[in-house]
Amino acid sequence: MTTIRVLLVDDDPLARAGLASLLGAVGDIEVCGEASDGDEVVAAVHAVLPAVILMDLRMPRLGGVEATRLVRALPSPPHVIALTTWDVDDAVVRSLEAGADGFLLKTAAPLEIVGAIRAVMQGDAVLSPRSTRQLLDHVGRRDDAARRAALALMGTLTEREREVAVATGHGLTNAVIGERLYMSPATVKQHLGSVQQKLGVGNRVGVAVLAERAGLLAGPGVR
């Protein structure tokens, strides 16, 4: 069994202790290190080599958004899951734009936190369909120029890639997309990788935002 190494980043020692206690009881997850502020994160990544970072967004010296940006600029960077006290706000949107794989509320249930860590390791974003919809409503379609640019990028996709992009935009996991499009999760992951490369985005959240701006998410999605 492969162990998932997790770095905890939060300025609240009680929050870190609670997460460490929770994750320490999970067989396939190891808390390999902690950081008390965003300006400690890059050094911690080099020191302990985590696969996943649980990143608080609001810290006194360097916030989680900028820390995420620095981490994602590293060679072979770890996954980042943003931790927030709010469902969807500007800091959440900026963290996703900086390269976070998704976000969790600090009040999330233990099973949700564990599931999120495992999900990012499998290539899934930590966004439920409800959270995806809230995020896209928050971002909006911007202006006509942004919509035209998104449409042009979507036009570079094959029909199958476009179907995967739309399903991703509706917040579906690779497994569910595979069931609905009659392909294996591995094939979905392969298509999604090609989609991200063609669209010039770093994760499935970026795919969702461009699909929304292009006006492709108005319908019910893949059934």
The model's pTM: 0.77
User: Where among 75, 97, 126 does a domain terminate?
Assistant: 126
Share of the chain above pLDDT 70, in %: 90
- Number of domains the chain is built from: 2
Closest CA to 220 of 170, 148, 185, 176: 170
- Any domain includes 206: yes
Residue range of the domain that includes 183: 143-213
Q: For the residues 94-98, what does the mean pLDDT come to?
A: 84
For residues 30 and 104, state if they share a domain.
yes
Express as a percent the part of the chain with pLDDT over 90. Answer: 54
Residue 1 has pLDDT above 70, yes or no: no
Q: Collect all residues with Cβ–Cβ distance below 8 Å to 122 and sequence separation of at least 6.
A: 174, 185
Higher pLDDT, 109 or 39: 39
Do 109 and 26 reside in the same domain of the chain? yes
Q: Is residue 137 included in any domain, yes or no?
A: no
Q: Which residue has the higher pLDDT, 136 or 19?
A: 19
Q: Name the band, by pLDDT with cuts 50, 70 and 90, for residue 173.
A: confident
> What is the chain's Cα-based Rg?
17
| pLDDT value of position 12 | 94
Tens of pLDDT, residue by residue over 105-158, are 888 888 889 998 998 898 777 766 666 667 777 666 556 788 889 899 999 999
Q: What is the CATH number for 180?
A: 1.10.10.10
